[in-house]
Amino acid sequence: MNAEVIAFTILLISVGLVVAKLIRIKFNIFSKYFLPSSVIAGFIFLLLGPSVLGPILTNFDRFENAEYGIFTGPVIEVMSSLPGLLISVIFAALFLGKKIPNVKEIWMTAGPQVSFGQTVAWGQYVFGLLITMVLLVPLFDANPMVGALIEIAFEGGHGTAAGLESTFVELGFAEGADLALGLATVGVVSGVVIGVFLINWGVRNSKTNFLNSPEDFDEAQLRGIVDVEDRKPSGSLTVSPQSIEPLALHLGMIGIAILLGYGMLELLIWLESVTWGAQGNVVIFAYIPLFPMAMIGGVILQVILDKYDKYHLVDRAMIQRLQGLALDFLIVSAIGTLSLQVIGANIEVFLALALVGITWNVLAFLFLARRMIPKNWFERGIGDFGQSMGMTAAGLMLIRIVDSKGDTKALEAFGYKQLLFEPFVGGGVMTALSVPLIYNFGIFAVFIFVTVVMIGWLLLGLLYFGKKDASEIT
């Protein structure tokens, strides 16, 4: 790719984010429902690109070569490649800069949310595979691998859906990436809208403990603006800029984590090639994308830093800024290059999966969260609901609405939960393996497996954490 095209594309996305932020500030409908600026920018690019404006312009002789809308082919090519690169940055940064706590501390703080979150995630597989077997394959001749799309798109989000594009292509299901990205968009938008609706319902029905009335919504928070008097540094300079730019240092740490993940993935692929995959009958690790291994690389690097870094060189807030930057760029590029034609060609499958995913997530929050999370179930559960609809950031946002001062420790529990959640689902190893598993072992075998796992987490939440007194949960 031409370096100038890459640089121009990055600048273009940056400008798009600024325009989207101004739109969000100006029009109340966007701020009212907390729609992220990256999603707005993504839709702008989608409308102006090859999926919408392009086909319209090519109907006119004067614009017969405008198949990419206002963009060019190379720009769209760069934009399409960004999600697969940036997802590794996001996952490598998940645990960098914060001390890895011991398992007991994590368990007593976030155990209820782990069991609830895992139940929801594995349930997305269960009901996705079930409707695929019962309805989508026999009636619409759908590819059996669509059964994994709800979890990939809803729990994993745009980043995971985009990151698995190469896996879909290699397994002969290239349209799966576009379907997953479309479902992720539905998940994010409906998650924000339904999440805000659930919060309003919870407030009016005394389900929340610290948000007492709709008037408690802060106007500045709605618009996504931090009041001048409340503005604080979003990161600390751990090194002198004269020696190395702090952002460069932190980006380097993320790079080390990604390289560790790459090394582990290559080792697993080699081990598979000389053992059970030698005959080529069952190949799994060759289809795993880099990002879940980059996350494990980040954990390993942080453990090393906890033990040997006496200068505390890595600042968590600085890492989060880089992570947030990568996530914004990823969402814009993923939505902006979404193929509406593929979704249109599979509309029945798309709508069925979206309806099943949304219904399961809402019902799980309303009926299971209160029975599995004995302390502040609404504040803690709403974060898991937001995450289960497609974006960790959405879960954090919903928690901040109902518990802006951190009285419930929901944010802390949500963060700890990721240590026992992300490595497996929501972009973890199972998310990466789900499609290859269906391809290699068949949909029914995978359905039995995920059902057993879901029931195990469900029983743990209901019979163990659900029976505990609230005072036992930190």
Check residue 217 and give its pLDDT.
55
Percent of the chain at pLDDT above 70?
Answer: 91
Which tokens in the block code for residue 264?
A: 């582990």
Check residue 221 and give its pLDDT.
62
Is 239 contained in some domain?
A: no
Is 135 contained in some domain?
A: yes
Whether 138 and 165 have beta carbons less than 8 Å apart is answered as no
Check residue 54 and give its pLDDT.
87
Pick from 299, 305, 209: which is nearest to 261 by CA? 299
pLDDT digits (tens, 9 = 90+) for 353-389: 999 999 999 999 999 999 999 888 998 999 899 889 8
Q: Is the pLDDT of residue 471 over 70?
A: no
Rounded to whole angstroms, how far apart are CA atoms 188 and 350?
A: 15
pLDDT digits (tens, 9 = 90+) for 292-337: 788 889 989 999 999 998 899 999 989 989 988 988 898 888 888 8
The one-letter code for the residue type at 87 is I
Is 296 contained in some domain?
A: no
How many CA within 13 A on the CB side of residue 321? 13
Check residue 138 and give its pLDDT.
93
Whether 110 and 381 have beta carbons less than 8 Å apart is answered as no
Pick from 343, 346, 357, 455: which is nearest to 130 by CA? 357
165-197: buried (b, 16+ CB within 10 Å) or exposed (e) per residue?
bebbeebebebbbbbbbbbbbbbbbbbbebbbe
Q: DSSP state, 339?
A: -
Q: Is the pLDDT of residue 460 over 90?
A: yes
Is 354 contained in some domain?
A: yes
Rounded to whole angstroms, how far apart are CA atoms 64 and 75?
A: 18
Q: Is the pLDDT of residue 412 over 80?
A: no
pLDDT digits (tens, 9 = 90+) for 39-63: 889 889 989 999 889 888 888 877 7
The one-letter code for the residue type at 76 is I
Q: Please compute the mean of the pLDDT values over residues 130-147 and round it to a whole number.
A: 93
Kindly list the distances between the CA atom of residue 351 and the CA atoms of 239, 346, 356, in Å, as whole numbers in the listed order: 51, 9, 9
Is 245 contained in some domain?
A: no
Q: Would you call 291 helix, strand, or coil by DSSP?
A: helix
- How many CB atoms are closer than 10 A to CB 424? 17
Check residue 127 and give its pLDDT.
97
Q: Please compute the mean of the pLDDT values over residues 222-228 and round it to a whole number.
A: 70
The one-letter code for the residue type at 37 is S
Is 276 contained in some domain?
A: no
Burial environment of residue 403 by CB neighbours within 10 A (0 to 12, 13 to 18, 19 or more): buried
CB-based contacts of 246: which residues, under 8 Å, 6+ apart? 235, 237, 238, 239, 315, 318
The number of folded domains in the chain is: 1
Which tokens in the block code for residue 358?
A: 């949304």
Q: How many helices (H) and strands (E) does the chain have?
A: 23, 0
The one-letter code for the residue type at 93 is A
Rounded to whole angstroms, how far apart are CA atoms 400 and 343?
A: 34
Is 294 contained in some domain?
A: no
Is 399 contained in some domain?
A: yes
Q: Domain limits at 400? A: 3-223+316-472
Whether 109 and 102 have beta carbons less than 8 Å apart is answered as no
Question: What is the Cα Rg of the chain in Å?
Answer: 22
